[in-house]
Structure 1
């Protein structure tokens, strides 16, 4: 049961308590149950849901996964042609409606092993890969995340990003499962997020690091009180030093959680950073295994590597997805005798997972393998650096050369200072050969770093980037 059985329980026990808030619009537990139940009889076997954040989204999603139904959530920001292509592909891979058993007309969960969610990898120019998840895999994920993050019924969670993104969709469903109040915005807006923190009693944030930095820095400048926030869950990339410092000053009582996971694997490892606890800057550590997760580092032949050896991060847990409906090239999700990997590279040291990055991001320069993540974490530890991005630029001699760009935290910064700052942190053959300064980070529409966009800015002499001498 992903969450519908729990939703029925909360609606019976606390009918008039608030379940979901979207941009100030409130929906009670009984209201959510009744409105979703009214949609179930007309809900198809597979629903394609592509909407911006709204109360209607939460209601439609609940109805779309009732019985043995499945739901595919598409980003409404994707081009219409892409969304239509995905819907067509889903229709092709869906069972023949005449051969599908009745899914029922009530708001109840289907069998634990049945698929209920069609997940899509992000994409803007080609049809993304699609994978499926079972109800049992999400229940296992809920139990693990609630234990790890310490979610309680009295918590009020704000996830200010789009519900079409898996981070926020999961946060919504997790709160419905736990009986905790969930808040979001029509679209991400710093002022609206601050208003929710100030006036709605928010105790928990779920967001990506770029959003956390904006909320923290502008919250400090504007005197927004975030002392009531008890936990901040960040995903998408490791917290850099500036974001961590700003978040700790703005929300002094919050435990900051960062974790590693993948859409196909769910949660893998994580770390909790209690208020005031010192953190090693420039590190690649991303915590210890989540509850119910085993981690091994395997080479491409499936052989386990010793402690400290770099290889494929492989996991074994009940939270792994069922696999792909389409788009599987044999490398996106691999299995070695029950150990699954999406190709992310890392190593274990004393039980702690260290994340190096995607194999596809790896830079081969003069025969040396360099992961941009290593370079970025090293540069982020240099005083005066707010954020860093590294990439591989074409080079006739080396194949590719490592280049890096930084957003200064204040004033200016020089290439000499950057080189000196990473001397004791990064091996010589992994250090950048060119340095640039940025006025802003190269981000996708979902707030993730785009290394290709960085390279495009360099090639186009974009005004947002300049070379450091």
Structure 2
């Protein structure tokens, strides 16, 4: 793992400086090094971690990737039978899929091309796919993201979500690599996050849009001082207008970064959205635009046969970089991660225009209605711009006449929202063929276990007449 040699350096240079803080409990650089080093001899060749956030988690993770060791980090909230099945499968994985299983002594980084991390796609019931990452791939990612986000040793990063999520686990390792102080909570709590931001000198947030919306809106209402934030890094989906506006008001000095990446690909493209009051030319890409390529990343749009497509034509978003994973240990159906002569894609659809990547969503999410291909992401962004809409989720429901019909659910920012208002709000934004036929209002968004909008869950709510949603006439 490429942060252990750096950890030794920071422990020598500033042994008493805070390295990690979780829920107010702290470890300095020397303490973290010594605790992890003491645990290395008992760490097996392959470790499976399924623990809530704690300092002990950080120590265990550092020891679990020392030398040639490998670690798989599982979400402890997943069902026990799923966790046990994954644990058994990971520990029984053949050497050919995991590399050399020999464990070396000492808290040192292993050879760059050796695998160190077993990544899992998110899941709650179905078996997640597992993929492998080399130490070199994360070191390249560190160098790229530190340059792109402007991380310095003076920053204090708060990642308020679970360390089992790849976004937060990466932020932890990135900070250890950069010699930058990292903070986490025992579990996500708005009040605890506000306390850390206001009193611990936090300068940088790493989180998903739903968390940012909660922190911003409640922070504004409660007068929580976020003027010390200089950067906010948001991943999972493009920020809607309401969340962005609230975040800019709450943290007026922060550059807000949104980016596109995938667990198997690492970083692909992104943009830094300027603080409030900055020139409009620095406001960031509009609509479906997500930004330009990360340092060290090349982007092409390829068709299903791997042929390059011209600008503005929709196809597979494909990348070439040193950050791409080593591929799947299991779960590969031949489509999840495809390679075309060195260009990798996970099937996300998009197009390039003037160097800006426009992201439309997964091919599997695409709605085919009356012969027209519609991407839910386009609909969700359009609905989020309608007054009275806090957030939206769109999906394709089965339809005997059309094949699929476009349906959408909105989370209202105030009462009294009607289908007529939603239809009127989309008239000048979306073509008629892409507009929803059915609208629902929800008391809460249907989300995955990682806090992302879930279109399958929305369809399940509709089919089951779930009390959390109501159809609008």
Match of 1:327 in 2: 331
Q: CA deviation at 1:410?
A: 2.2
In structure 1, the partner of 2:404 is 400
Note closer, same or farther for the CA distance 1:53–1:17 as it changes in structure 2 (3 Å cut). Answer: same
SS of residue in 2 equivalent to 1:2? coil
Q: Secondary structure at the match of 1:286?
A: strand
With over 3 angstroms needed to count, the CA separation of the structure-2 counterparts of 1:241 and 1:416, relative to structure 1, is same
Aligned residue number for residue 187 of structure 2? 187
**Cα deviations across residues 268-293 of structure 1 (Å, max 9, x unaligned)?**
00010011255589710000000000
CA contact (8 A) 1:282 1:380 kept: no
Aligned-residue CA RMSD (Å):
1.4
Give the structure 1 partner of residue 141 of structure 2: 141
Deviation at 1:447, TM superposition (A): 1.1
* Residue 370 (str. 1) matches residue 354 (str. 2): no
Compute the TM-score of the two structures, normalised by the length of structure 2. 0.97
Which of residues 346, 361, 368 is equivalent to 1:357? Answer: 361
Aligned: 1:299 with 2:303: yes
Looking at structure 2, the residues matched to 467 and 83 of structure 1 have their Cα atoms a distance apart, in angstroms, of 37
1:379 aligns with 2:360: no
Q: Distance in 1 between matches of 2:48 and 2:268?
A: 28
Matched, 1:222 2:225: no
Q: Single out whichever of 433-442 and 348-357 deviates more from structure 2.
A: 433-442
Pair 1:245 & 2:249 matched: no
Superposed CA deviations along residues 286-335 of structure 1, whole A, max 9, x for unmatched, are 00000000000000011100000000000000000000111111000000
Conserved 8 A contact 1:241-1:281:
no
Per the TM alignment, residue 461 of structure 1 is displaced from its structure 2 partner at its CA by: 2.2
What residue in structure 2 maps to residue 20 of structure 1?
A: 20
Shift, 1:157, TM fit: 0.3
2:317 matches 1:313: yes
- CA distance in structure 1 between the partners assigned to 2:349 and 2:398 by the alignment: 23
Q: CA deviation at 1:100?
A: 5.0
- The residue that corresponds to 2:89 in the other structure is 89
Q: Retained in 1: the 8 A contact 2:273–2:284?
A: no
- Name the stretch that deviates more: 331-340 or 374-383: 374-383
Q: CA deviation at 1:123?
A: 1.2
Deviations 1:143-174 (CA, angstroms, capped at 9, x unpaired): 00000000010100000000000000000000
The secondary structure found in structure 2 opposite 1:133 is: strand
Residue 108 of structure 1 is matched in structure 2 by 108
Secondary structure of 2:193's aligned partner? helix
How far apart are the structure 2 equivalents of 1:211 and 1:370?
A: 28
What's 1:254 paired with?
254
- Matching residue of 1:287: 291
The aligned counterpart of 2:79 is 79
Partner of 1:209: 209
Question: After the TM superposition, which segments of 4 or more aligned residues of structure 1 sit over 3 Å from their partners?
Answer: 99-102, 277-282
Q: TM-score, normalised by structure 1?
A: 0.97
Following TM superposition, by how much is the alpha carbon of 1:101 offset from its aligned partner in structure 2, in angstroms? 6.7
Query: Counterpart of 1:264?
Result: 264
User: Is the Cα–Cα contact under 8 Å of residues 21 and 55 in structure 1 kept in the other structure?
Assistant: yes
Gaps of 5+ in 1: none
In structure 2, distance between residues paired with 1:369 and 1:217: 35
Shift of 1:124: 1.4
Indicate conservation of the 8 Å contact 1:392/1:400, yes or no.
yes
1:267 partner SS: strand
Q: How far apart are the structure 1 equivalents of 2:467 and 2:79? A: 27
Correspondence for 1:7:
7
1:161 alignment counterpart: 161
> What residue number does 1:459 align with?
463
Q: Does 1:235 align with 2:239?
A: no
CA contact (8 A) 2:117 2:133 kept: yes
Q: Is the 8 A contact 2:69 2:104 kept in 1?
A: no
Quote the residue 1:122 is aligned against: 122
- Cα deviation, residue 425, structure 1: 1.5
